[in-house]
């Protein structure tokens, strides 16, 4: 995240929390801790915070739990791929040929 994005984030926060400190010093302080963090994720976290809290978000609320978010998105993607593969398998599935089951049972009885 760059300084302009931190300012955009502060604008969003300030609209809901007028008492929020948006001084240049605070922007620089937040930039120090947010420069490695994606703006979209921070904005999403701030929007979620605004929906459920009456106090301005702190750094931990802005950063959220990115690792958990990434893992959750990865698992969603994996699950969608898994279900798509199951759907393809269901479409390609066919019953065994006639007599197959009986042949397997006969082989098992001989063993």
CATH architecture for segment(s) 3-64: Orthogonal Bundle (1.10)
pLDDT at 67: 66
pLDDT tens profile 27-73: 999 999 999 889 999 999 999 999 998 999 998 899 887 767 778 88
Q: Name the H helices within 20-65.
A: 24-34, 39-52, 59-63
pLDDT-above-70 percentage for the chain: 98
pLDDT at 50: 93
Residues 6+ apart with CB under 8 A from 10: 20, 22, 26, 27, 30
Residue 14 has pLDDT above 80, yes or no: yes
Question: In which residue ranges of the chain is CATH 1.10.8.200 found?
Answer: 3-64
Q: Between vectors from CA 36 to CA 31 and to CA 38, what angle results, nearest 5°?
A: 95
Q: Quick one: which H or E segment has residue 69? A: helix 66-92
């Amino acid at each position: 995240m760059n300084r302009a994005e931190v300012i955009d984030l502060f604008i969003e926060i300030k609209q809901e929390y007028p008492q929020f400190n948006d001084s240049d010093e605070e922007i620089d302080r937040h930039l120090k801790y947010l420069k490695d963090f994606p703006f979209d994720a921070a904005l999403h976290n701030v929007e979620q915070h605004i929906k459920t809290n009456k106090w301005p978000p702190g750094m931990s609320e802005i950063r959220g739990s990115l690792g958990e978010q990434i893992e959750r998105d990865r698992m969603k993607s994996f699950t969608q791929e898994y279900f798509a593969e199951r759907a393809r398998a269901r479409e390609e599935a066919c019953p065994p040929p006639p007599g197959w089951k009986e042949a397997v049972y006969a082989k098992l009885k001989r063993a």
